[in-house]
Chains A and B, each alone.
Chain A
Amino acid sequence: MHTGRYDALVIGAGFSGLAAAIRLAQFERRVVLLERHALWGGLNSFFKRGGRRLDTGLHALTNFTPPGVKHSPLAKILRQLRLERDQLRLGEQSHSEIVFPGARLEFANGGARLEESVAQAFPAALERFRALLREVRAAEPFAADAVRGSARARLAAQLQEPLLEDMLLCAVCYYGSALEDDVDWNDFVILFRAIFLEGFARPEGGVKTLLDLLVRRFKEAGGELRTHAGVRRIRHDARGVTGVELDDGTELEAERVFSSAGAVETLALAGRPEPDRRPRLSFLESTWITRQPTRQRGHAATITFFSTRERWRYAQPAELVDVESGVICCSDNYASATAPAEGIVRVTVPAHGPRWCALQGEEYERAKAAAVAQALDAARRFVPDPRPDGALADAFTPRTIVHYTGHVDGAIYGSPTKRRDGRTAIPNLFLIGTDQGLVGIVGALLSGITMANLHALQASRA
């Protein structure tokens, strides 16, 4: 184990931390990646239950493009991390759907099926939808002067069809908005491409396949991964960051620190709390293994975004959970080299972080069981109820997310306030991950890569 000074220290071995750490280690920098838990992955990890390996986060790897397509976010990530596409062993979705009262949209990878579906469900809005597609395709969301603002306002003006507007926003917000009832226009462009124009895939074997590759790559590049190494303090002096203190009292010195702990969380570790009181979005997820594969149970869609309300809401719910809208993911409906032996149904609904975090003991367990039942009662309108055929069930709440990620209120997409340049008030302390602005697995990887490039590799090369 290296005991001297590190060139770079990365807090959190989730996807952004792993990507940043690989980039830094690739160029002979002494890099240490610290993870508080026994296992890496952060929000997107895995665990064993009843002899099966379950994923905690992964619904889909977005941004699926066929082999050979260059200039895509996926291709950039592979190049930057020196990974080969075949290693990901991606299986594509069958198709996915957005189901609202009075309308249903279907989409598959590549975008054509969505356009056909809009033509059928919203013929009067088709030309306006096509104009939106052109705009999304022509945008340059990664440019420094990218256009920002309310995507909802732009969609309302562009589409003039509130139901279509809500349906598109539903999928986009669930897969990446930290804002209530809206998403930043530039993020909308990134996510719309990732979800609708590129698409969904799953690595064979789930998130572990991806994590194993990244951890191996980091170690090959000479990096040091320390688990059970939670950071309790970030040290700094007048010139900037100097290192960290671990939970067990160990002190590590570093030239630069990259933190995926979140903006507020990171500044609190540095003794500079800056509370941010805007509501954060969190979720409850109920996962079921069924004895029969989902397709044999009569359901072919991979992902279903649903709302039972006419006007869809994406907000911190008034109660513990809001089951009027959510996402259902049937992971066994991804293409796979081996036919699935069992089914997997996951139902995810908005949850109130602070309320869940306040519950204790039996009260918490009772609330969790009740919320799971409510969510499944709502979801069975869209997918065969997994309970009668259930072989194994598990659930996470915002409290679980706080435990495993340390993110305030169990926020999945972080603070509504993003710091796109990754800088903090403390020199050489940088943010990566959800609060830097890019979310999802692909977004997190890009966040780690771009911040390591900008703040370490480019900065010190000359």
Chain B
Amino acid sequence: MNREEIITAVKDIIHTIAPDEELSNLAADVRLRDQIELDSMDFLDIVMELRKRYGVQIPEEDYKELATLDGCVSYLGPKLQGKALKVGV
């Protein structure tokens, strides 16, 4: 997956978890938590959805890497290499 696809993948997961949030104008370099309402329960769900959809395992100490969309791209990039984007699952 390339950068755009990873961002789409993460946004689609956030949309599943928090359908009431506006995601079109998210800045990639600002903490997600500062732009939309996401608590620790929601972060657990992002991680669970990444595992379910893409088989990606993320240990708890790495959660902080997912704080921004840029962070997601650099952390998930290697893990999602060669995997196909799944949207609206």
- Chain A interfacial positions (CB closer than 8 Å to B): 26-28, 68, 70-71, 76, 79-80, 82, 84, 449, 453, 457-458, 461-462
CB distance from B23 to the nearest CB of A (A): 14
B39 sits at the interface (CB 8 A) = yes
CB distance from B32 to the nearest CB of A (A): 14
- Beyond A453-B41, A453-B44, is A462–B57 a contact (Cβ under 8 Å)? yes
Note all chain B residues with C-beta closer than 8 A to A26.
Answer: 48
CB distance from B21 to the nearest CB of A (A): 9
CB-based contact A71/B57 at 8 Å? no
Interface residues of B in 7-66 (CB under 8 A from A): 16-20, 37, 39, 41-42, 44-45, 47-48, 51-52, 57-60
Chain B residues touching A, majority SS: helix
The one of B42, B48, B59, B60 in contact with A79, judged by C-beta atoms closer than 8 angstroms, is B42
CB-based contact B57/A461 at 8 Å? yes
CB distance from A8 to the nearest CB of B (A): 14
The one of B16, B17, B19, B51 in contact with A461, judged by C-beta atoms closer than 8 angstroms, is B51
CB-based contact B45/A80 at 8 Å? yes
Inter-chain CA distance A80–B44, complex, in Å, is 10
CB-based contact B60/A71 at 8 Å? no
Residue of B nearest to A78 (CB): B20
Note all chain B residues with C-beta closer than 8 A to A453.
Answer: 41, 44
Residue of A nearest to B57 (CB): A462
CB-based contact B19/A84 at 8 Å? yes
The one of A70, A80, A461 in contact with B47, judged by C-beta atoms closer than 8 angstroms, is A461
Q: How many residues of B contact A (CB 8 A)?
A: 19
Residue of B nearest to A70 (CB): B37
Note all chain B residues with C-beta closer than 8 A to A462.
Answer: 57-60
- Beyond A27-B51, A457-B48, is A80–B57 a contact (Cβ under 8 Å)? no
Note all chain A residues with C-beta closer than 8 A to B59.
Answer: 462
Note all chain B residues with C-beta closer than 8 A to A457.
Answer: 44, 48
CB-based contact B44/A27 at 8 Å? no
Note all chain B residues with C-beta closer than 8 A to A82.
Answer: 16-17
Residue of A nearest to B37 (CB): A70
CB-based contact B52/A27 at 8 Å? yes
Inter-chain CA distance A156–B26, complex, in Å, is 49
CB distance from B27 to the nearest CB of A (A): 20
Inter-chain CA distance A80–B16, complex, in Å, is 10
Inter-chain CA distance A453–B37, complex, in Å, is 19
Residue of A nearest to B40 (CB): A453
* Leading 4 A-B pairs by shortest Cβ distance: A70-B37, A462-B59, A27-B48, A27-B52
In this complex, the member of A26, A71, A79, A461 whose beta carbon has the largest number of chain B beta carbons within 10 angstroms is A79
CB-based contact A80/B41 at 8 Å? yes
Inter-chain CA distance A80–B42, complex, in Å, is 8
Inter-chain CA distance A462–B20, complex, in Å, is 29
- Beyond A79-B17, A82-B16, is A458–B44 a contact (Cβ under 8 Å)? yes
Inter-chain CA distance A243–B19, complex, in Å, is 37
Inter-chain CA distance A76–B41, complex, in Å, is 8
Further pairs besides A26-B48, A71-B39: 4, Cβ < 8 Å? A70-B20, A82-B17, A458-B60, A461-B48
CB distance from B9 to the nearest CB of A (A): 17
Note all chain B residues with C-beta closer than 8 A to A84.
Answer: 19
Can you list 10 pairs linking A and B with CB atoms under 8 Å apart? Answer: A27-B51, A28-B52, A70-B37, A71-B39, A84-B19, A453-B41, A461-B51, A461-B60, A462-B58, A462-B59
Inter-chain CA distance A79–B45, complex, in Å, is 10
CB distance from A35 to the nearest CB of B (A): 26
CB-based contact A76/B39 at 8 Å? yes
